Structure 1
Amino acid sequence: MLAKVSCIVATALMLSAFYAQPDDKPAGIEHVIVIGVDGLSPDGIKKAETPNIDKMVAGGAVKWNVRTVLTSASSQNWASMIMGAGPEQHGIIDNDWQLNKHTLPPIVQEADGRFPTIFSVLHKAKPNAEIGAVYHWGDFGRLFQKNAVNYDKHFGTEDSTAADFIQYIKNKKPVLGFVHFDHVDHAGHHDGHGSQQYYQSVSKADSLIGKILASIKDAGIAEKTLVILWADHGGIGKGHGGATPQEAEIAGVFYGAGVKKGYQIQQQVYTYDLASTIAFAFGIEQPYAWIGRPVKPVFKGFDEPKNLWLGEKR
């Protein structure tokens, strides 16, 4: 009898210890704002005048070498960001992809034919959540489920894109808001990555980011908002698409609610981890078909993976 009681007590203690662990969700996040800048390279951030991004890096967490999917072009990388998977899973392999014109079908699809995105996953988990996307590059709009968003706008300039997104934040206080800027990529193609014009375009993006950060504060949601800065690819010369670090590595910056300050992320991060991290921030389960993993160590109370391996020195 004593042995049986001891066994019950031991089991209770183990269960107590298990349930006493922090919830597998960062605390205090009610809104996520993603700022996506097409063609923004780590070099651009480091060499251009970027006081607002610098503030985010100093007051948040950064990974300077997030790996994109290949090829390092726009459609497949924007898709991978919001779909939590790579081209092999979602089937978007190039900029010629259209919903009704493609060669590789998604490994699973929703009713509209698209692979599940963070927009549709969040909408199904929280049907009343305000979700919106404002984008400078029109083709971004073909990548996500239209019935999953409350707000869907395309504008022809970075300024009009930012102005509308800022008003959207102030008026609707979205649970998930996603903005896309395209002008940095334009500068890369026209003048070349590393050119004075390219760095000026990065500084312009930084000024728009500053206005977005101010709008989050004006909306009264800053203390509950996670802000993520991401890109689809970098570039080399006047192009991109190749398998070089200049083209296939971008910076990922996390700032705001629940985020450690001045933190350098150690774990390997891939561009499709963005969707997984957003799902994790909201405490919702990601689809099994996703291959992304949440970047947990950016959040207070979470450590780098125990099985993290950083390679060997020669």
Structure 2
Amino acid sequence: MKLARAEHVFIVSFDGGKPGVMQQSNMPTLQGLLKEGAGTWAARTVFPSITLVSHTSMLTGVQPAKHKIDWNDWKPEKGVVGVPTVFAVATKAKKTTALFAGKEKFAHLYQPKTLNAFAVPEYSAKTVAQTAATYLQENRPNLCFVHFADSDGAGHSKGWGSPEQIEAFGNEDKALKVLLEAIRKAGIQSRSAIILTADHGGHEKTHGTASDEDMLIPWIAWGAGIRRGATLTLPISTCDTAATALELLGIPIPADWDGKPVYEALA
């Protein structure tokens, strides 16, 4: 086992998190973590830039050609992803894991015996955050993923960059604050690292193309094992998120992963 930089890693994904729109939104909690941590607004997701495909790459460390999730809805007949998730790797290393999401399709990432907790309480980021906060205060998982869906829903219904989407990002920032407060109350803040990112951007009322509007995403890290006040300049892929989480926890990264730890962000 490698030396761990953190005992707890939290990955938070803002669905449809287009950097230009997030920067226009009222997100003081996220901006505070960016100022104190390491980050960039120019990381890239995978193609096609759609929710389930992108999140699968984020949480398996491999490109779509390897994980073979090429659909974007909850299709129970297709079963779960066929390559190990970051939760499977962490579980094998005797770490505890949890996943809280706003969309049912995340069940495609729920491999048997790899998650100590899995919940899709409802679409609302407020409810997802409250559910996750209650769990993490009581159980203090080593690896936890939290998904906020509101911003994507607002983008599809009202448009990327619309007042409604900007409001949704603001509400998700409040949900992020709930998570941070739970981490503090659990007494693990000094031993925790947080990665804030997204699955894709968007344009008009859609996404999925190879354009920068759809492909660019934020990637922000804060906390234990993370550099302070660092602007990241090297290329970052969403596949690197899972690898960075394992590196922070001191767990070896699978050799066949496409993602690599974002060493530029690490202290």
Q: TM-score normalized by structure 2?
A: 0.95
Tell me the residue number matched to 1:263.
230
Identity, % of aligned positions: 31
1:120 correspondence with 2:120: no
Which is bigger in relative contact order (C-alpha 8 A, separation at least 6)? 2
Q: In structure 2, do the counterparts of structure 1 residues 82 and 266 end up closer, same or farther at CA, with 3 Å as the change threshold?
A: same
Cα deviation, residue 39, structure 1: 0.7
C-alpha RMSD of matched pairs (Å): 1.7
Unaligned stretches of 5+ residues in structure 2:
none
SS in 2 for 1:147: coil
Q: Counterparts of 2:125 and 2:24 in 1: how far apart (Å)?
A: 21
Cα deviation, residue 165, structure 1: 0.4
Cα deviation, residue 40, structure 1: 1.2
Unaligned stretches of 5+ residues in structure 1:
1-22, 103-111, 301-314
Tell me the residue number matched to 1:136.
102
Residue correspondence of structure 1 range 116-195 to structure 2 within 5 A: 116-126=84-94, 129-156=95-122, 157-195=124-162
Q: Counterparts of 1:197 and 1:113 in 2: how far apart (Å)?
A: 33
8 Å CA contact 1:135–1:141 kept in 2: the answer is no
How many residues are aligned here?
Answer: 266
8 Å CA contact 2:38–2:222 kept in 1: the answer is yes
When Rg is computed on C-alpha atoms for both structures, the one with the higher figure is: 1
Residue correspondence of structure 1 range 1-314 to structure 2 within 5 A: 25=3, 27=5, 29-96=6-73, 98=75, 100-101=77-78, 114-126=82-94, 129-156=95-122, 157-300=124-267
Q: In structure 2, do the counterparts of structure 1 residues 25 and 270 end up closer, same or farther at CA, with 3 Å as the change threshold?
A: farther
Structure 1 consecutive aligned stretches of length 4 or more whose deviation exceeds 2 Å: 23-27, 96-102
Tell me the residue number matched to 1:5.
none
Q: In structure 2, do the counterparts of structure 1 residues 24 and 266 end up closer, same or farther at CA, with 3 Å as the change threshold?
A: farther
Q: TM-score normalized by structure 1?
A: 0.81
Q: Counterparts of 2:76 and 2:196 in 1: how far apart (Å)?
A: 27
Tell me the residue number matched to 1:15.
none
Q: In structure 2, do the counterparts of structure 1 residues 46 and 113 end up closer, same or farther at CA, with 3 Å as the change threshold?
A: closer
Q: Counterparts of 2:239 and 2:220 in 1: how far apart (Å)?
A: 14
Cα deviation, residue 43, structure 1: 1.2
Q: Counterparts of 2:75 and 2:230 in 1: how far apart (Å)?
A: 39
